Amino acid sequence: MTRAGFVALAGRPNVGKSTLTNAIVGAKVAIVSDRPQTTRRAIRGVATGPSWQLVLIDLPGVQRPRDALTQRMARRVSLELADADAALMLLNGEEAIGPGDRFIAAALAVSSGPVTVAVNKVDRLSKMRQAEVLLAAAEIAPAAAEIFPISARSGEGVDALVRHLVGQLPESPFLYPSAQRSDVAREEQLAELIREQVLRRTFQELPHAIGVVIEEVAPDERDEQRTRVDALIWVETESQKAIVVGHGGRMIKAIGTAARRELERELDGRVHLSLIVRVRRHWRADDGLLDRLGIE
């Protein structure tokens, strides 16, 4: 008998959903940064055991829609939660329970599938603080929801959480090949790896006005053993472009060097990366560009 199914991972922005997804899958399928709204699309990470397959849907952080981008993100959250076999609500153990957490808990309380709650980042808390946080989580958790203290970063408590989630899955054959780790298209994954490096290096200066589009992935005409990746980085203002390019091109060079290393790990070979920064005002309200970015 095998079990397989979808578990939707919900939580406020920046609670560690992407880190937990990567930890359970055992591979990097979702980019990670300390900034909210890093995850913009529902990313499926596939973890497979001897008799089970857990498909984690790393949802965008739940927030009030402000533009076409966040409207699409909110709509994707609702659709994925409705279709999932179970739901996992993630809380940040370092922060007090807030209105956003209560909103998500209330939404999950009417879910047709079982709900589990995980309190993340407990490795940074004292035993007394852990007890206080778990008690607060129990007060908002949907009825019958089990609560797990975990650290997605260190792995503490993650195995026990996975065993519990697998027990909630229906009997089913595997939904994906056992070696597959994600259903994200290759170009979208490469674009996300580049965007991750932009976010890491412009943390203090830029809002979430960064979009990345892969123009082409092809063999390098100058070196057949190397892959050429051409990408566009979209920003909304000339001042943002200046930040991404940097004085004398230093910032874009640093972004390109770091991103190229990530792409080489993903593609398992040498990469020539070409990055071009372009200004497109209000691109987050541009349905055509959002379609091109793969944000449904």
Contact 45, 30 (CB under 8 A): yes
What the block records as the tokens of 115 is 């709900």
User: Considering the domain boundaries, does residue 84 fall inside one?
Assistant: yes
**Residue 200 or 60, more confident:** 200
Give the domain CATH number at 191.
Answer: 3.30.300.20
User: Considering the domain boundaries, does residue 51 fall inside one?
Assistant: yes
pLDDT for the residue numbered 182: 84
Mean pLDDT of 76-86: 74
**Residue 185 or 19, more confident:** 19
User: Considering the domain boundaries, does residue 23 fall inside one?
Assistant: yes
Q: Say if residue 59 is in the same domain as residue 96.
A: yes
Give the domain CATH number at 88.
Answer: 3.40.50.300
User: Considering the domain boundaries, does residue 154 fall inside one?
Assistant: yes
Q: Is 34 exposed, middle or buried (0-12, 13-18, 19+ CB in 10 A)?
A: exposed
Contact 174, 136 (CB under 8 A): no
User: Considering the domain boundaries, does residue 48 fall inside one?
Assistant: yes
Q: 278 phi and psi, to 5 degrees? A: -130, 150
For residue range 167-211, what is the model confidence (pLDDT) as tens digits? 999 999 999 999 888 887 888 889 988 988 998 888 666 656 788
pLDDT for the residue numbered 144: 86
Reported as a pLDDT band with limits 50, 70 and 90, residue 39 is: very low
User: Considering the domain boundaries, does residue 33 fall inside one?
Assistant: yes
Q: Say if residue 53 is in the same domain as residue 163.
A: yes
Q: Say if residue 76 is in the same domain as residue 199.
A: no
Q: Say if residue 157 is in the same domain as residue 196.
A: no
The rounded mean pLDDT for the chain is 85
User: Considering the domain boundaries, does residue 177 fall inside one?
Assistant: no
CB atoms within 10 A of CB 169: 21
Mean pLDDT of 42-71: 74
For residue range 255-270, what is the model confidence (pLDDT) as tens digits? 999 999 999 998 999 9
**Domains in the chain: how many in total?**
2
Q: Say if residue 71 is in the same domain as residue 191.
A: no
pLDDT for the residue numbered 203: 67
The amino acid sitting at 269 is G
User: Considering the domain boundaries, does residue 181 fall inside one?
Assistant: no
Q: Of 167, 202, 230, which residue is a domain's last?
A: 167
3-state secondary structure the chain: CCEEEEEEEECCCCCCHHHHHHHHHCCCCCCCCCCCCCCCCCEEEEEECCCEEEEEEECCCCCCCCCHHHHHHHHHHHHHHHHCCEEEEEEECCCCCCHHHHHHHHHHHCCCCCEEEEEECHHHCCHHHHHHHHHHHHHHCCCCCEEEECCCCCCCCHHHHHHHHHHCCCECCCCCCCCCCECCCHHHHHHHHHHHHHHHHCCCCCCCCCEEEEEEEEEECCEEEEEEEEEEEEECCHHHHHHHHCHHHHHHHHHHHHHHHHHHHHHCCEEEEEEEEEECCCHHHCHHHHHHHCCC
Q: What is the domain range of residue 255?
A: 186-293
